[in-house]
Amino acid sequence: MRDGFRTLILAVLAALPAAGPASAQAAKPAFVFTGIPDQDESRLVERFGKVARYLEAKLGVPVTYIPVKNYPAAVTAFTNGQVQLAWFGGFTGVQARKAVPGSQAIAQGAEDAAFKTYLIANVKTGLQPSKDFPKDIAGKSFTFGSRASTSGRLMPEYFIRQAFPGKTPEQVFPTVGFSGDHSRTIQLVQSGAFAVGAVDYSVWDLDAKAGKVDPKAVTVIWESPTFPDYQWTVRGDVDAIYGDGFTAKLKAALVGIADPAILEPFGRSKFIPVDNAAYAPLIAVGQSTGLLD
């Protein structure tokens, strides 16, 4: 009787599926990421949807992109652990890594190592392109992008303060706005709602290519010195969740993106490795302008 019971138990155990890699894989939660909403929503959905499908194939875990309403919301989602990875601007990346010790910048666009801000103006202002900072923008209405944007707020404010020592933008311009994203900045200046604005040069190029920029209505009047900008930042706890080496695997996957269909919506030729130290200049600028504690 006892031998028969033992035989039955062994038979049942033998019939159960082995707890191998497949079942361990199924137990892992979805890997979730987001990105700052720096341009129009349709382009963001196209851009990040392709990234999600690519990463899912490379990482072997479910990958989900979740949109956020604004730049601070991207930082909050990362800080709260709602997402494990984010495509941040330089400044939002600095904010996120400060809030989440152990998080790492792992990849940036090749163009992000030396990024630029464009100052653009409505043609009716009569402002002309200049290699020197155009001080004659003083007294005209001016719009930044998002309050937390690197190329649309942090760096242009720094350059404005350098050009007009001792003055804030509010003291230089009678009206100062915040459009929320770069595409919106272009439209506001193009329409004449604002005379001048600060915009991410890559979004300007993408929108111009898409036919959204009217050269008879708006033009670039100044190109800034370069600075580090966008990057992929990952939380420091992902290896504990997805297994040792996951961060390295993720970094290799991002740097390995070669499909133009994925890269073109970013306005990037490729992604390259980067680390937190590359963004030290933005910390210094943030502190000097009072935008970072």
Give all domains of the chain, ordered by start, each with its CATH number: 11-110+229-289 (3.40.190.10), 116-223 (3.40.190.10)
With a cut of 70, say whether residue 24 has pLDDT above it: no
137-172 pLDDT, tens digit each: 999 999 999 999 999 999 999 999 999 999 999 999
Exposed, middle or buried: residue 72 (CB in 10 Å: 0-12, 13-18, 19+)?
middle
How sure is the predictor about 104, in pLDDT bands with cuts at 50, 70 and 90?
very high
Average pLDDT, the chain: 91
Q: Write the CB contacts of 88 (distance below 8 Å, at least 6 apart in sequence).
A: 35, 36, 74, 75, 78, 96, 230, 231, 232, 233
Whether 95 contacts 276, CB under 8 Å = no
With a cut of 50, say whether residue 6 has pLDDT above it: no
210-229 pLDDT, tens digit each: 999 999 999 999 999 999 99
230-240 pLDDT, tens digit each: 999 999 999 99
Task: Please compute the mean of the pLDDT values over residues 235-261 and round it to a whole number.
Answer: 97
With a cut of 80, say whether residue 243 has pLDDT above it: yes
How sure is the predictor about 27, in pLDDT bands with cuts at 50, 70 and 90?
low
Q: What is the CA radius of gyration of the chain?
A: 24
**What is the model's pLDDT at position 26?**
52
| pTM of structure | 0.85
With a cut of 80, say whether residue 270 has pLDDT above it: yes
Whether 218 contacts 185, CB under 8 Å = no
